[in-house]
Structures are given as structure tokens and as C-alpha cells.
Structure 1
Amino acid sequence: MRTLCSSTLIGEFFIIGFAGLVAMKDPDLSTSTVWLVSGVAMALCLLLCGMVTRPGGVVLGWVLQVALIASGVFVPIMYFMGVVFAALWWASVHFGRKVDEARARFAAQAESAPSTPDAV
């Protein structure tokens, strides 16, 4: 799960950075505010890469997805990008857990299988 979720978060890191560049063009938003919010969100993406498998990591990822969708208020394309990344986040969590379960079953089978001597 960690690999899939981290890949999604790294993609979001770049999307948030690009959205910050677009938001800078809005005359109603100050540059410092845009980069403070974008910087915090980008840092959260990087921190979540290491926290995905810890308790609360997936929940924080969902909070980030909601915030990404909500950022569409300032950059309208982010409504679409937020939904796309929320779908990717769901898929990463869902299929990542399935992969982890399959790996655990395979490891358990490998440990319980009797070892046979090598034929010479």
C-alpha cells in the first residue's frame, strides 16, 4: 500500500505546486498567502508518504483529498483534479491493501511449506 499511496501523493505534490502558480495570477490573492497554503499542502504530501502505513495516515490522506477538491474555489480546474486524485487515492488504498494481504499470504505459505533437499 505504501508504494501506491506514496506515488499518488508525489503526483499531488506537483499538482499543488502548479495550482499555486495558477493561483498567483488571481489579483485577489496575495502571493505570500498562495505560497504559504501551497507550501503547507506540498509539505503535507511529502510527510504523508512516510506516514501512510501508520495509524491515521490514510485518514490524513483523505483530509488532503477533500482540501484539494475544495481548492477549486480559487483554481476551478482543481475541482476536476481533486476528484481525479481522490479516485487515485481510493484505488491506491484499496488495491494496496489487497497487495499487502496477498504478500502476507504468500509469505505465510512459504514459511509453512516443507523444505525439500536439493537434488544433486
Structure 2
Amino acid sequence: MIPGDFYLISRGDDGLFAGSHKIFQRESSGLRRVSYCGRDYWVRPVTVAWTQVEVENRKEVRVEFNMGKGWRPICEKPEQQVTLKDLGVTQDARVVLSTNGQDLDGVNRFSAISESFQKGNKTKKASYHD
């Protein structure tokens, strides 16, 4: 693993910063494995959606790296390398952004909460003290 920060950064025609999303070098909950310019990263689907929308809005998006000496572009046109479709997401990128990707896992939050309380011994008990 390389020390430093990796981000998808969007810039306007003038090259000035417009926005960014952090991309990760390690797997974590809610992240999906992707590859930009032959290097693996972990991203949230909403990050891929953001990338697509930024390009639609005529921004240039690149993978950039910073190890304390300023931002260095290391990968061009990430929007052509990873799409929502590649992640199995069929929703429009703008919908994914507006919901912050909440409906992507297909898990009803209340069902997940209920299920978490029912883990363990599932045999019926006559009373709390059994």
C-alpha cells in the first residue's frame, strides 16, 4: 500500500478545483472494488455516480494523489473505466446521488434491524428465565 491520499477530483475548464470524493486502498463496509488505470481501489457507488454526473456537467475528473507535496494526477478519464452498470447498479447516477446510495444494497433497514435482534438461539422459551 502506498502512503498518501487518493481522490477522484473534478476540475473546471480553468483547471480549478470543483469537487472531490475520496477513494480507498482497503476494503471496508459499503465499498466496492474497482480498477482505475490498472490499480485497484475501493469506492462507494455514490462516488462512481458523482464521477458520471461531474463529467456530464463538463468537468474533468481524474484520480489524483497527494503525499504532502501537492496534488498529482495519476489517472485520466476514470468515468470511462468504471460505471454504475459495472457495479450492478441500474439506477440513474443522479438518483444515486440524491439518495446518497441508500437503496443500493436491496436490504430494508427495518428488516435488517429486526434480524439483528433475532440472532442466536431461535428456540421458543416459555419465559424470560428459561
TM-score (norm 1): 0.29
Name the structure with the higher helix share: 1
Considering fraction of residues, name the structure with more strand: 2
> 1 or 2 for the larger relative contact order (CA 8 Å, sep ≥6)?
1
